[in-house]
A = this chain, B = another copy of it.
Amino acid sequence: MISAEASATTSVRVALGDRAYDILIGRGLIAEAGRAIAERLPRVRAAIVTDETVGGLHLAALTASLDAAGIESVPIVVAPGEGSKNFATLETVVRAILAARLERGDIVVAFGGGVVGDLTGFAAAITRRGMRFVQIPTSLLAQVDSSVGGKTGINTAEGKNLVGSFHQPDLVIADTGILDTLSPREFRAGYAEVAKYGLIDDPAFFAWLEQNWQGILSGGPEREHAVATSCRAKAKVVAADEHETGERALLNLGHTFGHALESATGYSQRLVHGEGVAIGMVLAHEFSARMNLCSPDDGIRVEAHLKAVGLPTRLSDVPGGLPDAQDLMKRIAQDKKVSRGTLTFILTHGVGKAFIAKDVPPAAVEAFLNDKLAG
């Protein structure tokens, strides 16, 4: 790699043996994408899967970058939004890859947010029993979370992400400049996952976020630092527990509550994923305090920061109301982090001290939710 790129680009390695890969992070990396791919994966053809929104804004730039590196590509454009994570769109994408006559050594590029990444990664996993796969995430959420780690999947009426594969990318390219085109709401939703890494096991990072969050939103150099720190944290966990048999579950901090809220609001624009996670993380701290695992001050501190950033933090922040606690518990029970009828939650001993709690009594969670809904 020539020095001009190296000086602007942070590289994070995901250490997965012979499936190890790099995450490149920097402003303006779309223009370098073709060269970065060609250096690592010579002589490939590419299918670029994107949605109408991202494609309309940025597909021409990506295609030009690939062309310049001699990489022939075909675009596959899906409708934007969570609704595309279904069997019908999966079939459409898979068949378009086959129709383009891509071979097993060729690449499928996911160019979009979490929906495009999850759908495309799954399509790459099952086409010809596994094609190479490059993630070019265009939302903050995808850059710091879903593009790294190999979880791919779609939704069914039975639940979210219950169908999918583990399929690691060969390369992740996170252009932090592309985040300038996100709506403030979508940017903030991704920020919830950034804060999560501090809350799991890095209290110094959380304290840094409390001081520097405005630079992340405004596009200062703090943004690259936050994305790189998040990717490093995720890469470490993924390398230690690729298939989530153990500590990878820590990444679900705030997600069990969050998924129940997303489910209760029909995965609609009433509450996007990161917003559910923000409320879920506050609830996880509050429930932990109620179980005497941490101080109530921890929940107050977490809520204060997320609120300052502009994220929802309480059940009453969800527009349009929520069902009762019993209904939310049913949604939690169908969540995939259920094992043999008992509940597994990520709880915490305080900021940066999250842990996996097995055998959490469902009755205690329901009583807690009942109180929160009332108050």
Contacts and interface: CB of A to CB of B under 8 A. Distances in A.
A149 to B, nearest CB: 12
Interface stretch (A90-98, A134-142, A285-293): A90-98
Contacts of A220: none
A91 B153 CA distance: 13
A126 interface: yes
A65 interface: no
Name the interface size band of chain A: 35 or more
A164 to B, nearest CB: 5
B129 A159 contact: no
A129 B156 contact: no
Oligomeric state, in copies: 2
A64 interface: no
A99 B336 contact: no
Interface in A295-320: none
A334 B128 CA distance: 12
Interface string A200-223: 000000000000000000000000
Nearest to A123: B163
A151 to B, nearest CB: 7
Contact of A103 (B153, B243, B339): B339
A146 interface: no
B338 A103 contact: yes
B157 A95 contact: yes
Contacts of A104: 336
A94 to B, nearest CB: 6
A126 B118 CA distance: 13
Nearest to A340: B103
A130 B166 contact: yes
Contacts of A95: 156-158
A138 to B, nearest CB: 24
A105 B341 CA distance: 12
Contact of A126 (B91, B164, B334): B164
Given A158-B99, A159-B98, A125 B87 contact: no
A162 B128 contact: yes
A127 interface: yes
Nearest to A92: B87
A164 B98 contact: no
A98 B156 contact: yes
A10 to B, nearest CB: 29
A165 interface: yes
Which of A91, A151, A336: most chain B Cβ within 10 A?
A91
B163 A165 contact: no
Contacts of A90: 87
A129 B339 contact: no
A96 to B, nearest CB: 10
A94 B164 contact: no
Nearest to A101: B334
7 contacts: A99-B158, A105-B340, A126-B126, A126-B165, A129-B164, A129-B166, A130-B243
5 cross-chain pairs, A with B, having the tightest CB-CB distances, nearest first: A98-B158, A87-B91, A129-B164, A126-B163, A95-B156
